[in-house]
Copies of this chain bind each other. A is one copy, B any other.
């Protein structure tokens, strides 16, 4: 039977029946001091592999909380294999991309350096923390992974051969993403995909040629208004999910 949980946490532990889970300091603090939960209260947990479980708080001090698994309440499901490859932007918007991409169902995020990228360091650990928090809140059963920063030409040179690229080209007008993805739907929907979003200011001509000549590239338009990079990413993920994903 499913009881309303007081909190929902991502954990690393394998989830089986009667499994004690000793939470780390931050999660213990959150449950004991922020949420003020006590022994006996119900907390939902997931680890990205074993579905979602109800657990009971076995012991709670101000410093350490131990959970004990009860029942599995949701089985692990297959999720879309969708990368978001994006030119990193400044802090608040980077947090935003990590959160929203998680909610919208991306499986992996890759910050990519382009010629017009102005940010020179990306806090990928912070992105991962944002992804965990968003996954806990949106009831996802998994947390997207975050790749290391990589240069665009290097990434394309070592691109996985079977992964399609949805390239959101700012300079393109006339081919709507809806039409382009619907056309793909018949032949390509089963394969893994990546959405590629450029920096504010766009890819330069050399980069655009490199991308458009890639054999796995499908070029789509997101309209004639100028979208910020974070808006373009959210729009592209939504379109992909609705045309080819699990929406």
Contact = CB atoms under 8 A, between A and B. Distances in A.
A116 B218 CA distance: 42
Interface in A222-247: 222-228, 231, 234-236, 238-239, 241-243, 245-247
A138 interface: yes
A225 B178 contact: no
Interface string A165-180: 0000000000011100
Interface residues of A, number: 32
A37 B155 CA distance: 42
Contact of A247 (B178, B182, B242, B246): B178
A221 interface: yes
A239 B234 CA distance: 11
Interface stretch (A19-27, A99-107, A205-213): A99-107
Nearest to A177: B242
A140 B247 contact: no
Interface of A: 100, 103-105, 137-140, 176-178, 182, 221-228, 231, 234-236, 238-239, 241-243, 245-247
